[in-house]
Chains A and B, each alone.
Chain A
Amino acid sequence: MHATDDSADVFEQAAIGGDQMIEIDEALKKLADFDAKKSRIVELRFFAGLTVEETAEILDISARTVKREWRFAKAWLYRQMGR
């Protein structure tokens, strides 16, 4: 998982493969260490494929909160994995 502006051929890394899934999961565990809710949202959205609304329903929080947390979590994970 790398930023798109590095020199590697984007085509070789477009799809998230198994290793990257694991990488995401690793990063997710770190996220869970300081914010379990965000990590849950990522799991439900990314791994379980739930929509924002479905996620909100399961966690019993507002859709707005899901969106907000999701955005932060994504940025955090992205950065984490780029390191």
Chain B
Amino acid sequence: MSRVNAVRTRQIEDVFHAALERPPADRATFLGEACAGDGELRAEVESLLAADDQAASFIESPALGTLTTQFRRVSAGLDLSGRRIGEFELVRVLASGGMGTVYEAVQQQPRRTVALKVLRLGIDSPSAFRRFEYEAQILAHLRHPAIAQVYAAGTHVDPGSHAEGTGASVPYIAMELVPEARTIVAFGHEHGLPLRRRLELFARVCDAVQYGHQNGIIHRDLKPGNILVDPAGDPKVIDFGVARANDSALSVALTQCDAHQMVGTLQYMSPEQCDFDPDQVDTRSDVYSLGVVLYELLCEALPYDVTRSSLSKAAQMIREQLPRRPSGANPALRGDVETIVLKALEKERERRYASAADLARDIRKFLANRPIEARPPSRLYHVRKLVARHKAASALSAMLIGALVGFSIWMTSLYGRSDANLKRAQAAERNARTEADTNRAVSEYLVNLFQTLDPTGRGTDVDSLGGSFTVRELLDREVRVIPERLKNQPLTQATLLATLSGQYVRLELFSRAAAAMERALELRREATAGHGALVADTLYTLADVLRRKGELGRAWALLEEARAKFDALPSRPVLENRRAQILAAMAMIRRAQADTATSVRLQHESLAMVEAIHGPDDPTTDGARYNLASVLDAAGEWDEAEARMRQTAESYRVRFGANSSQAAAGVHAIGLVLRNRGELDRAEATLREALRLRMALEPPRPADVATTLSAIAGLRKTRGDFAEAKALSREALAIYRTHLTEDSTAIGGMLYNLASLAVAANDQPAIGELVAEAAQLQRRAAALPPDHLHRSGALLMLGVLRMGQGDATGAEDLLRECVASRGDVLSPEHWLTAYSECVLARSLIQQARYAEAEPLLGSAYPRVAAMIGHGDDRTIDIVQDLITVYETMGQTNKAATYNDVLLRYRR
């Protein structure tokens, strides 16, 4: 912006604000003086003032809702008592809210006292007026003893309208007045109603809502304030259909209060209403709101505490959080009543009561001591789907803000003081940031995010492919635009790229994760002349990404560089900790390369360092101990592995409690060590104990449950109990499907396990079904980026199934393609690539091409065993194949060696 422009802008603004401080009538005079012959200035300010006059509500409601209305606000706060509107004489104000004012009024003919709701929004066009009248007419047809009747509706010209020329037409609705009414919640509380009476009362409310639904009207705004009880104890639902079924703008305007009032209203809104997707709102949304009111009536508390949350945070909570258990507030509700309430509050409409009538029926069944229809969540449903459609994206925005806000704090506290280069770079960046600073970057992200989350439906196609797809698109776009938008801010750019890289890792898109992190490293190297802790830290993080991708050689080199950089820095505990982490990361690389001896040595060193910093009794030390135990297990040093794992698990149990997720993880880990050392009975008992613990976790951790189920399934498979293995695997798959997006590789992995089970059991019907599932996976993969693991996963699965159908050559083709396509996402060094080669080898064995199979198996086996465990059923299958190969090739010594391994598990 040029200097001249800046001065001019300033001038315009000053005059604009000064004019606003004056009454409208004086403004012309004022402008004449203030602009003093500067016609251009005056025209500019005048046009802005005109816009201001009309823009009162413009963009006032956050875009999150995208329901911002363009109505003129009229009559705000104006008391019309004593005046007459139509045939109604306004007596006094009963209530005043965001959408209007309710008066007690007297109607002339018939003579009666009514409640007259005068809305705050004007209607400007004849067609809008017709629509309003039509809607009011429909409402007037609702006749139910528990619904406050609408008598009449109309419009009047608003006397308080500040619009020039004609005043806007202001709609009003006359309805049945419920004298001395209390809200249902207040009534229950004040009369100290027992549980039975409260339920009976509530069932009658459900009847009324059902009646409305049968007449094609969704209430949409059910809350205690709209469910009244008269002194005789009879319920009356008011404002029925004021939010009308056909989503006219009127209904939007009527339900949509000011943003700050919305948080209160939001508490009763269903998750789909929080998505502001009108197409998703149906009668079941009312069932949900009824559930919230029932909850409040019975618990005298709300299922979610959103009172101190911002609008978007509150909406997120409703979409994602589990409600607090009613029995927590009122133990008498345990059992059926709790089940009924929670069913009404299900996040997914399909899982709620299908209608208000069904809800009422179950309540009455309970009251009659008959079994209710609702079932408490089963084992599978215990494991809830918390991944709502927008969860990842909202989390992403929160995270990016967190990353940027936290970044400077983090750098100063962690490295800043000891890093002069970094300080200089930060200072330089601060200077470059006059026009666009960190907050600018944050808000740009938000703009982009919320545009992508456009609830008008344009994103639907994308969404149907799964939540992570949307996020991936989001990430891809951010990675593209960052360099341009943050040209002068290399450090901020690097922070965002690093954050996005972490998200790619979460989506298991390692190539993209690596690319983003490589760029972050470059930027940070340039900005800080390649020195210091920041670059060292980035090297470590990039190495971690590369290790996951399987680029072990490069990852190792980066870690060595990082270690050298940290060594050059003065010793501080926080840096010591990083050194220990680097050693642990190096250990993981050696393990992946099947060099377990080196890995054990490095984990020992890392543990010693951690212990020196944190002492023996510390969670970080526990973590290092776990790492060591785990690699001892991979190295086949089972006595020590088991002892250390037990020590770790015991420490978790003491530190976090017997019912903690950590304690459960410890038991699971012991189970795996027992499995790997061949003690299958004890292993299974231990894993079942881990399952029990994980099932009881609060809050639930579904993925953990599925992991343990899958481990037990593997054990059953090793023991030849294919039926139980299949049942457990199916259960694990169902949990993953409930909890994760369909693009998650855990689902692909579980499907593969089922395929290999079906083949092992020669279960041809199951093989057929799984071929269909694999084809579906493949179709899904076609819509995913080429570096998604599903692509190769589907091929692997199909390859195995083809073998099960006796088509070894067909299988070979598929598996070769699989191994090749693995290269798009994982390096050849990755164990999954190695494992795919083993499966390929099996198809060669079936074709009696043993000499070709042998090298594949020989090189892959140790890496697979080191990564997934010697006792994993997939590893054991490879051992079996090795024995077959060596026996046929006449290499009896080798065959005998592997036979010894096999005997450990199959006695």
Chain A residues with a Cβ under 8 A of chain B: 1-5, 7-18, 21-22, 24-25, 28, 33-36, 40, 42-51, 54, 58-59, 68, 71-72, 74-79, 82
Contact = CB atoms under 8 A, between A and B. Distances in A.
B848 interface: no
A50 to B, nearest CB: 7
A17 B457 CA distance: 10
Nearest to B457: A18
B1 A40 contact: no
Interface string B22-66: 000000000000000000000000011111101100110011101
Interface stretch (B120-128, B588-596, B722-730, B739-747): B120-128
Given A46-B63, A47-B446, A49-B64, A9 B125 contact: yes
Contacts of A59: 439
Given A3-B54, A10-B124, A54-B310, A15 B71 contact: no
B255 to A, nearest CB: 12
B692 interface: no
B422 to A, nearest CB: 23
B847 interface: no
Residue with the highest number of chain A CB atoms closer than 10 Å, among B16, B47, B51, B252: B51
A43 B444 contact: yes
Chain B residues touching A, range: 35 or more
B162 interface: no
B439 A17 contact: no
B127 A11 contact: yes
B5 A58 contact: no
A79 B446 contact: no
A20 B520 CA distance: 35
Contacts of A5: 54, 124, 163
A8 B50 CA distance: 19
Contacts, number: 151
Contacts of A75: 16, 48-49, 51-52, 55
A77 B127 CA distance: 28
Nearest to A15: B67
Given A43-B443, A47-B446, A75-B51, 15 more contacts: A4-B70, A5-B54, A9-B128, A15-B67, A16-B59, A34-B5, A44-B439, A45-B62, A48-B312, A48-B446, A49-B310, A51-B260, A78-B51, A78-B52, A78-B55
Nearest to B68: A16
A43 B446 contact: yes
B63 A49 contact: yes
Residue with the highest number of chain B CB atoms closer than 10 Å, among A3, A16, A71: A16
B435 A82 contact: no
B47 A79 contact: yes
Contacts of B440: 36, 40
Nearest to A12: B249
B127 A9 contact: yes
Contacts of B68: 15-16
Interface string B433-459: 001100110111011001100101010
Contacts of A54: 310
A15 B51 contact: no
A16 B451 contact: no
B20 A71 contact: yes
B9 interface: yes
A54 to B, nearest CB: 7
Contacts of B62: 45-49
A74 B55 contact: yes
Given A46-B59, A54-B310, A16 B447 contact: no
A16 B20 contact: no
B252 A16 contact: no
A7 B1 CA distance: 38
Given A36-B435, A36-B440, A76-B51, A11 B248 contact: yes
